[in-house]
Amino acid sequence: MKKFISFLFAFGLLFFFQNCASQGSVDPKTVEALVDSQEFTFYAQRANPTNYDVINVMNSMPNSTATRVLNLNGDYTIDLSKNNMVVVLPYFGRAFSPNYGNPDQNSYRFTSKDFTVNKSQTKKGKWILKIRPNDVSNVSDINIEIFKNGKAFVSIGSSDRQPITYDGYIGKTEIKKDKEN
Which one, of 47, 143, 73, 90, lies nearest residue 55 by Cα? 47
DSSP-assigned letter for residue 120: E
Residue 107 clears pLDDT 90, i.e. is over it: no
Which one, of 121, 119, 114, 139, lies nearest residue 129 by Cα? 119
pTM for this structure? 0.76
The confidence score (pLDDT) of residue 100 equals 73
- For 61-69, the CB contacts below 8 A with 24+ separation are 69/167
